[in-house]
Chains A and B, each alone.
Chain A
Amino acid sequence: MEFVRVENLIFDYMKTDEGGAPVATRAIDGVSFCVEKGSFTAIIGQNGSGKSTLAKNLNGLLVPTEGEITIDGLDTSDPANIWNVRQKVAMVFQNPDNQIVSAIVEDDVAFGPENLGIDPAEIRQRVDAALEGVEMGDYKDKAPHLLSGGQKQRIAIAGAIAMQPECIVFDEPTAMLDPRGRSEVLKIALDLNRRGMTVIFITHFMEEAACADHVIVMDGGKLRMEGTPRDIFAREEELKALNLDVPAAVQLASQLRARGVDLPDSILTAEELVDALTQPVPAEAAEEVSS
Chain B
Amino acid sequence: MIRDITLGQFYPGNSVIHRLDPRIKIIATLLYIVALFVVKDFAGFIAPFVLLEAVIILSKVPRRYIWRGLRPVLIIIAFTLAINLFMVRGEVLWQLGFLHITREGVHTAVFMGIRLVLLIIGSTMLTLTTRPIGLTDGIEALLSPFKKIGLPAHELAMMMTIALRFIPTLLEETDKIIKAQQARGADFESGNLFRRAKALIPILVPLFISAFRIAQDLAMAMEARCYGGNVKRTRMNAMKFARRDLIAAILFCLFLAIVVAQRVLM
Contacts and interface: CB of A to CB of B under 8 A. Distances in A.
B1 to A, nearest CB: 13
Interface residues of B, number: 34
A118 B133 CA distance: 17
Contact of B221 (A93, A114, A123, A124): A93
B161 interface: yes
A115 B228 contact: yes
A131 B226 CA distance: 20
A164 to B, nearest CB: 12
A86 B256 CA distance: 50
Contacts of B213: 98
A98 B168 contact: no
A102 B237 CA distance: 14
Given A117-B232, A120-B236, A61 B224 contact: yes
B226 A86 contact: yes
Interface string A84-128: 001100110101011111111011001111111111100110010
Nearest to A120: B238
B60 to A, nearest CB: 14
A167 interface: no
Contacts of A159: 225
Contact of B132 (A56, A91, A102, A115): A102
Interface in A163-205: 163
Contacts of A156: 221
Contact of A145 (B133, B169, B214): B169
B135 to A, nearest CB: 9
Interface in A23-61: 56, 59, 61
Given A120-B236, A120-B237, A124-B236, A111 B225 contact: yes
Nearest to B173: A97
Interface in B132-152: 132-133
B165 A114 contact: no
A112 B225 contact: yes
Contact of A83 (B164, B165, B228, B234): B228
Interface centre among B162, B224, B233 (most CB of A within 10 A): B224
A97 B169 contact: yes
A113 B236 contact: yes
Contact of A115 (B12, B133, B164, B225): B225
A275 B131 CA distance: 53
Interface in B211-258: 213-214, 217-218, 220-228, 232-238
A31 B234 CA distance: 38
B236 A123 contact: yes
Nearest to A94: B217
A286 B133 CA distance: 67
B224 A115 contact: no
A76 to B, nearest CB: 13
Contacts of A61: 220, 223-224
A144 interface: yes
B172 interface: yes
Contacts of A87: 226
B124 to A, nearest CB: 16
Contacts of B238: 120
A115 B227 contact: yes
A143 interface: yes
Given A86-B226, A111-B225, A145 B168 contact: yes
A30 B238 CA distance: 47
A127 B236 contact: yes
A4 B167 CA distance: 38
A93 B217 contact: yes
B86 interface: no
Contacts of A98: 213-214, 217-218, 221
27 contacts: A61-B220, A83-B226, A86-B224, A86-B225, A93-B217, A93-B221, A95-B217, A98-B213, A98-B214, A101-B162, A103-B10, A103-B133, A103-B165, A104-B132, A107-B133, A107-B236, A111-B227, A112-B225, A112-B226, A114-B233, A120-B236, A123-B234, A124-B236, A143-B10, A144-B165, A156-B221, A163-B226
Given A98-B213, A101-B221, A117-B232, 4 more contacts: A103-B10, A103-B161, A104-B12, A123-B236
Interface of B: 3, 9-10, 12, 131-133, 161-162, 164-165, 168-169, 172, 213-214, 217-218, 220-228, 232-238
Interface of A: 56, 59, 61, 83, 86-87, 90-91, 93, 95, 97-104, 106-107, 110-120, 123-124, 127, 141, 143-145, 156, 159-160, 163
